[in-house]
Amino acid sequence: MRPVVLFVLLLTGCATGAGGPNDNSGLGNCAWRVCVRPINTNSGRAYQAINREPVPATIVLTFRSPGNLQLRAGRPIETVVPAQSDTILVHMSDVLRDPSNSAGLSIAIDLGASTTEADADYLYAVPFGGERPRELIQGFDGTDSHLASMRYSLDFAMPQGTPILAARGGTVFYLQDGFTRGGTNPDLLERANLVAVAHRDGTMASYGHLRSGIRVSVGDTVRVGDVLGSSGATGFVGQPHLHFHVGKRMLGEPGRTIPIKLRGRDGRPLNLEVGSLFAPGREAG
């Protein structure tokens, strides 16, 4: 499963790609609830980042031309902005007092940070409910689609309508809903319903190919076992299944997906061998 393209390239005054779930009009160049805005100073200009997401954001400023600003050494300028914080990314001085000679700037925003220290010992709960065990049909380094940056992903086969459960508590920070079609047409690559949940250590879990009608909203706090929605076959799929992965970055590298461990209802670690059957997780009471 290839998630919706969430890495957003923004040109000063113009944005391309998918924006965030909230309206950030008036705050500058935005993606999700992360914005970058210029601030005029007595000596030149500064660029401020405003992150209202529950995870860090990685922001890269690339100056294609300096205009009337004196750039510091080293380009591009990459900064990790902590969750729920504001940060000045760079201060620059005017070389010429000519406001018409503006700098050519591109801004790239990605949620998460490669420097996040994930809790490697955390045992994730099985991310689906129901009554019957389900087969792991593609695991880590799967030759079908779990390649390169998506290598640490898990696909579980299941009939549509199976409850999808939060494998770890956290905050819903992104979702995509409303798609009803699925198949192997490449046009469906970015048309999967999904839920993304932020965890307290800065990692993010993605639950993909869900049926339309997701049960949670952006900003909701979820516990282990809370129902997020129902399994489906939306987007680029060969059969109904749940795609599940955890990462430090939404699309950037390194860390778009990371190795994780699952536990059974008895709390013991599970062997993530392809072809194995996994008993469903326990829904929260």
Rounded Cα distance, 197 and 190, in Å: 19
Q: What per-residue confidence (pLDDT) applies to 142? A: 82
pLDDT at 12 over 80: no
Q: What per-residue confidence (pLDDT) applies to 26? A: 52
Q: What per-residue confidence (pLDDT) applies to 27? A: 61
SS (H, E, C) 117-156: CCCCCCEEECCECCCCCEEEEECCCCCCCCCHHHCCEEEE
Q: What per-residue confidence (pLDDT) applies to 92? A: 79
Q: What per-residue confidence (pLDDT) applies to 180? A: 94
Q: Assign residue 148 a region (left: φ > 0; alpha: ψ between -120 and 50; beta: otherwise).
A: left
Amino acid of residue 88:
I
151 C-beta neighbours (distance < 10 Å), count: 16
Match 């987007």 to its residue by tokens: 235
Sorted by where each starts, the structural domains of the chain and their CATH numbers stand as: 8-111 (2.60.40), 123-278 (2.70.70.10)
Closest to 38 (Cα-Cα) out of 80, 5, 67, 17: 67
Summarised one tens digit per residue, pLDDT across range 55-101 is 999 999 988 765 555 555 457 889 999 999 999 998 877 655 555 55
Asked whether the bond before 254 is cis by omega within 30 degrees of 0, the reply is: yes
Rounded to two decimals, what is the model's pTM? 0.85
Amino acid of residue 8:
V
Q: What per-residue confidence (pLDDT) applies to 1? A: 44
Q: 58-62, 75-79, 203-207, 252-256: which has the highest mean pLDDT?
A: 203-207
Q: What per-residue confidence (pLDDT) applies to 106? A: 86
More confidently predicted of 17 and 249: 249
Percent residues over pLDDT 70 in the chain: 83
What mean pLDDT do residues 47-62 have? 95
Rounded Cα distance, 128 and 270, in Å: 15
Please answer whether residues 251 and 7 qualify as being in contact, where contact means their C-beta atoms are separated by less than 8 angstroms. yes
- Using 50, 70 and 90 to split pLDDT, how confident is the model at 149? confident
Q: What is the mean pLDDT of the chain?
A: 86
- Using 50, 70 and 90 to split pLDDT, how confident is the model at 3? very low
Amino acid of residue 237:
V
Question: Of 13-22, 136-145, 163-172, 222-231, where does mean pLDDT reach its minimum?
Answer: 13-22
Q: Please name the residues in contact with 25: beta carbons below 8 A apart, sequence gap of 6 or more.
A: none
What mean pLDDT do residues 8-27 have? 37
Rounded Cα distance, 101 and 250, in Å: 35
Q: Assign residue 143 a region (left: φ > 0; alpha: ψ between -120 and 50; beta: otherwise).
A: alpha
- Using 50, 70 and 90 to split pLDDT, how confident is the model at 44? confident
What mean pLDDT do residues 242-246 have? 97
- Using 50, 70 and 90 to split pLDDT, how confident is the model at 11? very low
Token representation of residue 272: 């993530």
